[in-house]
C-alpha cells in the first residue's frame, strides 16, 4: 500500500499531467509540464490545503503567479524581449487555461484530500446550513446582477440556453443558477470564512472564477459555439464580469451577516465568552477609527482627482458644480467608506503588510462599486459596465488603491494601539489572541488572485 504522504503528490502529478493536455494542446511537453506544476503545488501547499475551499484558493493564487512567471515572463523577457508585443493580450488564453484546468482541479483535489486525511478539531460538516444560507445569498446576489441584465436585455440571451427567447424564462433560469452557485459557495467555503471583510473578498474571488467558468467557457459550450478565451472576447464580456463581482460581493455580505447572527446567539450570549464591550460600543469605535483613518486616504485620492479634473463631476451628486463642492462631497464619501472598512475589516490584519493588502483589495472593490456602479445611479444615468466606461475610470482606480491602502494602514495603527492596551489584562488577552488570523490561511492567495486578476482584467479590457 502506498503511504498517504507519497500518494498525495503522485495523485497531483497525474492530475497535472492530464491538465497539461488541455493547457498545452499543441505540444508533446504538455503532460510533463502539467505534472511538474502539480508536483510543485503539492510540495508547497500540501499542509495548507485543509479543505476544498482553501485548496481552491491556494490553487487560484498559485496558477496566477505561475502564469506570470512561465508564459508571460518567458514571452516578455526571453522570446520577445525587444519587441512591442502586448504579451498579456497574446497569452490571455493561457491565463484562463491555467486557472480552470490547473488551479481549480489541483486545489480542489488537494483540499478534498486534506479534509479527509487530517484530524479536525471541529464537529462533522453539515450540508444543510451552507446549502440554505448559500442559496439565500445567491438569490440576493442574483437580484443585484439581474438589474443590469434586465437593462441590457440579457435575459433573452440566457433563455437561449434552453432554446427560448423569452425574458421570463431567462430570468427564471438566471435565478436558478444563482441559487445553485450560492449553495456551492456555502459548501466549499463555509469552514474557511471568518469576519465580514475576508468573507466579502472570498465572494469577489468566487464571482471572478465563475465569470471565467460561465460566460467565457460553459455558455458557449452549451450553445455549441467555439470557446474563445481571447482578450477581445473578454472585453466584450466586461459587463458580466462586473455583474459576477457584484454577485460575489453580495453573497459574501449575506453569508457573513448570517454567520455573525449565529455567533451572537451561540457564543456572545454565553457569560464565559461574552465581550467586555457591547456591540454598540464596538460599532461606534470602528466608526470613529474608520472615519479618522479615511482622512489621509481621502487626501491622497484628492491629488488624483485634482489631476484628472474629477471634482465637478463628483459635485453633481449633491447638485453642485464647483470643484470645492466636489472636494467636500469626496471627503464625506471617503469618511463613509472608511467607516465601512472599519466595521468590515476589524481584526482581519495581523500587521501593516496585511493591512496594506486588505486596503488595496477594498479600494478595488469600491472602484467597482463607486465610479462604475453607484455614481451613474446617483447621477440618474444607466449602468455603464462597458470597456469604455472602465477606460474613463481607470485613473480613479489608482486613486481608490491609494485611498484603500492608506486608510487601512491608519486604521491598523489605531487597532494595534488598542490591542496593546487590552493585552495588559490577561483575561482579555486570550480573546485577542483567538481573534488573530492564524498563519497558514489562504489569505495571501486571495490577495494575489483578486488584486492580480481584477486589476489585470480591468486595465487590459479598458485599454
The lowest-confidence range among 41-50, 80-89, 134-143, 297-306 is: 80-89
Residue 337: its pLDDT value, please?
Answer: 92
Q: What percent of the chain has pLDDT over 90?
A: 26
Cell numbers given for 358: 486588505
Distance from the Cα of residue 111 to its chain's centroid: 19
Which position has the higher pLDDT, 247 or 125?
247
| Contact status, residue 277 vs residue 213, Cβ threshold 8 Å | no
Reduce the DSSP state of residue 269 to 3 states and report it. Answer: coil
Tabulate helix, strand, coil % of the chain (nearest 5): 80, 0, 20
Please name the residues in contact with 164: beta carbons below 8 A apart, sequence gap of 6 or more: 170
Q: What percent of the chain has pLDDT over 70?
A: 82
Please give the average per-residue pLDDT across 203-207, as a whole number: 94
Residue 82: its pLDDT value, please?
Answer: 46
Residue 177: its pLDDT value, please?
Answer: 93
Rounded Cα distance between 70 and 64, Å, is 10
**Residue 41 clears pLDDT 70, i.e. is over it:** yes
Q: What is the pLDDT of residues 426-451, one digit of tens each?
A: 655 555 655 566 556 888 899 999 99
- Which of 281, 335, 327 lies closest to 304 in space, CA to CA? 327
The lowest-confidence range among 70-74, 280-284, 313-317 is: 280-284
Indicate the pLDDT class of residue 265, thresholds 50, 70 and 90. Answer: low
Residue 274: its pLDDT value, please?
Answer: 47
Q: What is the pLDDT of residues 68-125, one digit of tens each?
A: 888 777 765 555 554 444 666 778 888 898 999 989 998 888 888 877 765 554 455 5
The residue extents of the domains of the chain are 4-117, 134-266, 275-462
Rounded Cα distance between 284 and 288, Å, is 6
**Residue 174 clears pLDDT 60, i.e. is over it:** yes
Distances, alpha carbon 158 to alpha carbons 83, 112, 155, 215, in Å: 41, 33, 5, 10
Reduce the DSSP state of residue 170 to 3 states and report it. Answer: helix
**Residue 257 clears pLDDT 70, i.e. is over it:** yes
Indicate the pLDDT class of residue 151, thresholds 50, 70 and 90. Answer: confident
Q: Which long-range contacts (CB under 8 A, 24 or more apart) does 48-52 make?
A: 48/440, 48/442, 49/107, 49/110, 49/111, 49/113, 49/114, 50/111, 50/114, 50/115, 50/118, 51/111, 51/114, 51/115, 51/191, 51/192, 52/108, 52/111, 52/112, 52/115, 52/188
Residue 51: its pLDDT value, please?
Answer: 83
Residue 1: its pLDDT value, please?
Answer: 41
Rounded Cα distance between 310 and 371, Å, is 11
Residue 406: its pLDDT value, please?
Answer: 94
- Which of 309, 81, 111 lies closest to 191 in space, CA to CA? 111
Q: What is the pLDDT of residues 227-246, one digit of tens each?
A: 889 888 888 889 899 999 99
How much is the mean pLDDT over the chain? 81
Q: What is the pLDDT of residues 388-424, one digit of tens each?
A: 888 888 888 999 999 999 999 999 998 888 777 666 6
Which position has the higher pLDDT, 86 or 318?
318
Indicate the pLDDT class of residue 147, thresholds 50, 70 and 90. Answer: confident
**Residue 50 clears pLDDT 70, i.e. is over it:** yes
Indicate the pLDDT class of residue 217, thresholds 50, 70 and 90. Answer: very high
Amino acid at each position: 500500500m502506498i503511504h498517504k504522504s507519497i500518494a498525495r503528490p503522485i495523485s497531483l502529478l497525474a492530475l497535472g499531467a492530464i491538465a497539461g493536455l488541455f493547457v498545452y494542446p499543441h505540444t508533446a511537453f504538455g503532460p510533463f509540464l502539467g505534472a511538474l506544476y502539480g508536483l510543485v503545488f503539492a510540495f508547497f501547499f500540501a499542509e495548507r490545503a485543509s479543505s476544498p475551499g482553501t485548496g481552491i484558493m491556494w490553487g487560484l493564487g498559485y496558477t496566477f503567479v505561475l502564469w506570470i512567471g512561465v508564459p508571460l515572463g518567458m514571452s516578455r523577457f526571453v522570446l520577445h524581449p525587444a519587441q512591442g508585443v502586448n504579451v498579456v493580450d497574446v497569452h490571455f488564453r493561457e491565463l484562463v487555461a491555467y486557472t480552470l484546468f490547473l488551479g481549480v482541479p489541483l486545489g480542489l483535489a488537494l483540499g478534498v484530500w486534506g479534509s479527509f486525511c487530517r484530524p479536525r478539531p471541529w464537529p462533522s460538516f453539515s450540508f444543510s446550513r451552507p446549502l440554505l444560507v448559500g442559496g439565500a445569498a445567491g438569490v440576493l446576489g442574483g437580484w443585484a446582477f439581474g438589474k443590469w441584465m434586465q437593462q441590457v436585455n440579457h435575459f433573452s440571451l440566457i433563455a437561449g440556453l434552453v432554446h427560448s427567447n423569452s425574458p421570463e424564462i431567462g430570468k427564471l433560469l438566471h435565478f436558478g443558477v444563482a441559487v445553485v452557485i450560492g449553495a456551492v459557495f456555502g459548501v466549499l467555503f463555509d469552514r474557511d470564512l471568518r469576519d465580514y471583510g475576508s468573507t466579502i473578498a472570498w465572494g469577489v474571488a468566487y464571482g471572478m472564477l465563475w465569470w471565467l467558468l460561465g460566460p467565457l467557457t460553459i455558455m458557449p459550450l452549451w450553445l455549441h459555439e467555439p470557446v474563445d478565451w481571447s482578450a477581445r472576447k473578454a472585453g466584450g464580456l466586461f459587463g458580466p464580469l462586473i455583474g459576477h463581482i457584484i454577485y460575489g460581493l453580495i453573497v459574501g455580505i449575506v453569508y457573513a451577516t448570517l454567520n455573525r447572527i449565529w455567533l451572537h446567539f451561540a457564543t456572545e450570549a454565553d457569560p464565559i465568552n461574552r465581550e467586555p464591550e457591547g456591540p454598540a460600543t464596538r460599532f461606534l469605535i470602528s466608526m470613529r477609527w474608520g472615519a479618522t483613518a479615511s482622512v489621509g486616504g481621502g487626501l491622497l485620492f484628492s491629488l488624483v482627482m485634482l489631476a484628472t479634473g474629477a471634482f465637478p463631476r463628483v459635485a453633481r451628486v449633491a447638485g453642485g458644480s464647483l470643484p470645492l463642492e466636489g472636494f467636500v462631497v469626496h471627503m464625506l464619501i471617503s469618511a463613509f467608506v472608511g467607516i465601512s472598512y472599519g466595521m468590515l475589516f476589524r481584526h482581519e490584519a495581523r500587521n501593516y503588510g496585511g493591512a496594506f493588502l486588505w486596503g488595496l483589495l477594498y479600494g478595488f472593490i469600491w472602484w467597482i462599486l463607486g465610479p462604475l456602479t453607484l455614481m451613474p445611479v446617483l447621477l440618474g444615468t444607466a449602468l455603464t459596465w462597458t470597456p469604455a466606461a472602465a477606460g474613463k475610470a481607470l485613473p480613479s482606480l489608482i486613486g481608490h488603491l491609494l485611498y484603500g491602502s492608506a486608510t487601512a494602514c491608519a486604521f491598523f495603527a489605531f487597532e494595534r494601539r488598542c490591542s496593546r492596551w487590552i493585552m495588559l489584562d490577561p483575561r482579555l488577552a486570550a480573546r485577542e489572541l483567538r481573534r488573530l488570523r492564524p498563519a497558514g490561511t489562504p489569505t495571501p492567495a486571495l490577495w494575489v488572485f483578486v488584486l492580480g486578476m481584477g486589476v489585470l482584467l480591468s486595465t487590459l479590457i479598458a485599454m
